[in-house]
Amino acid sequence: MKKHFTALSVLFFFTLLLLHAAPAEAQCQLGVPAIKIGAQGAASGPHADYGRQIEMGATMAIEEINAAGGILGCKLEMKFMDDENKAATGVKNARYLVAEWGAHFMVGTDSSGVAMAMGPVLAELKRIHFFTHAATHRLTEELVAEKGIKEIVRVSVPVYQDAIVAALIFKDRPEIKRWATIGADYEYGYVAWNMFKETLRKYRPDAEFVAAVWAPFLTLDFSPHVAAVMAQKPDAILATPWAGEAVMLLRQALIQGVFDQVQVWWQAMGGSVDVLEGIASEVQRDRFKGKLWATARYIHNWPDTPENKAFNERFKKRWARLPNYSAETTYSALFIIKAAVEKSRSLETAKVIEGLKGMQINNPGGLRVFRAEDQQFIYNVPAGRVVMDPKYPIPVLGDLKVFAAKDYYRHPPFTPVAATK
């Protein structure tokens, strides 16, 4: 009996030791079963790749954060929804994600129109949405800086990149004097053209703006737009249709011999992976004659850092594709959320916003700095000539021109920019 009791005692003692030594899963220090991330983007229709890249970027970030222990011991969950590039759908999704699904934060959104419709609703819902694509300057300049909606944070660079950077590059090309635009026939296209003209005039009062033609959303046949612009004999063209429309526009411009006649074609957001994939064959055959320039909110071949290279490799391994800018900005948004929550030790909107103040964070796209006045993260993004590089399966941007964000981001107090033709 004594031996039996001793054996049981020893077994109990070692059981306690094993239980004490076993690594228990960390408990969520924020008192929730999981931190819920609501995500949305255009996941159907001609711009579906951008929404899917939002989902891929968010998914990969959440997998990595959870594998490393979560945020203060809290695991992350995500629900992604298609906003169809429609304002009403985006608003409906936001209400569902917060009121019914219980989202603590939201990320994504491609369309500026969807973003502007969501702004007042976010204030009502009292949840922060980290915008990772929508480019309208009014989102942060008007809704945040002017109207004080603090539930809006933008991680991606706005329309400044498409317009002001173009002017800063080509102001030093005196042989390029006559400019025209084939513009997207909505606010984005109007603002990009107006910002470009305003900036270029400061440096080049001799610049001429000889034609502006406007292509409605989902245009398929750009031939009349190209013909109308070329009739005015421009030296250069600034184009703002994007995604698949940009690919069709560029191919139709080739058919009409545009690249034999102009010195430069600036394709806003032409550094996006889907556009580069779409024109890879033409770039390989040098059909653009080295005259095609582009930019994006992030490009996969810059910055040339170990962090960005590793991100590209992980993304390719996970998804068998290179990351688009909407993937990188959304991936980075999740790590921004992580840093802000860990600093504030809270999920409350006001405390998390305080946690964002003063933030400087390294992401695959480089150093992002939070600007409290308009809740815009600012970071450098280059522009360049579209070229082939043997290190990559698709075209990249070469001859890179990199401007400090302070040189091309607009600064508060903001002056109005015409959002009309």
Q: Does one domain contain both 152 and 165?
A: no
Q: Does one domain contain both 308 and 287?
A: no
30 found inside a domain: no
Quote the percentage of the chain above a pLDDT of 70: 94
Q: Does one domain contain both 165 and 254?
A: yes
3 found inside a domain: no
Q: Does one domain contain both 205 and 310?
A: no
Mean pLDDT of 365-384: 97
pTM of the complete model = 0.93
pLDDT at 11: 43
| pLDDT tens by residue, 91-150 | 999 999 999 999 999 999 999 999 999 999 999 999 999 999 999 999 999 999 999 999
Q: Which of 6-20, 185-199, 314-328 is the least confident region?
A: 6-20
Q: Does one domain contain both 185 and 287?
A: yes
50 found inside a domain: yes
Q: Does one domain contain both 49 and 137?
A: yes
pLDDT at 25: 61
Q: Which of 17-26, 166-175, 318-327 is the least confident region?
A: 17-26
Of the candidates 54, 40, 135, the one whose C-alpha atom is nearest the C-alpha of residue 329 is 54
Q: Does one domain contain both 255 and 403?
A: yes
Q: Does one domain contain both 149 and 68?
A: yes
Asked if 394 and 273 count as a contact pair (C-beta separation under 8 A), the reply is: yes
Query: How many structural domains does the chain have?
Result: 2
54 found inside a domain: yes
47 found inside a domain: yes
| pLDDT tens by residue, 12-53 | 444 444 444 434 467 999 999 999 999 999 999 989 999 999
Q: Does one domain contain both 148 and 291?
A: no
Q: Does one domain contain both 404 and 273?
A: yes
Q: How far, in Å, are 170, 267, 391, 410 from residue 371 at the CA level?
A: 28, 28, 35, 12
Q: Does one domain contain both 47 and 175?
A: no
- Would you list the DSSP string of 175-202? T--EEEEEEESSHHHHHHHHHHHHHHHH
pLDDT at 298 over 60: yes
Local structure of 370: helix, strand or coil: strand
121 found inside a domain: yes
Q: What is the mean pLDDT of the chain?
A: 94
Q: Does one domain contain both 250 and 386?
A: yes
pLDDT at 5: 41
pLDDT at 179: 98
Domain limits for position 244: 160-296+382-408
> Across the beta sheet with 76-82, what order do the strands follow?
76-82, 35-41, 105-108, 129-131, 152-154, 376-378, 366-371, 360-363
| pLDDT tens by residue, 248-265 | 999 999 999 999 999 999
Asked if 120 and 150 count as a contact pair (C-beta separation under 8 A), the reply is: no
386 found inside a domain: yes
8 found inside a domain: no
pLDDT at 54: 98
pLDDT at 3 over 70: no
Pick 1 or 393 by higher pLDDT: 393
Residue 231 burial class via C-beta count within 10 angstroms: exposed 0-12, middle 13-18, buried 19 and up: exposed
Mean pLDDT of 387-396: 96
Joined together, the tokens standing for residue 111 give 């369309």
CATH code for position 83? 3.40.50.2300
pLDDT at 46: 87
pLDDT at 12: 45
d(CA 285, CA 292) in angstroms, rounded, equals 13
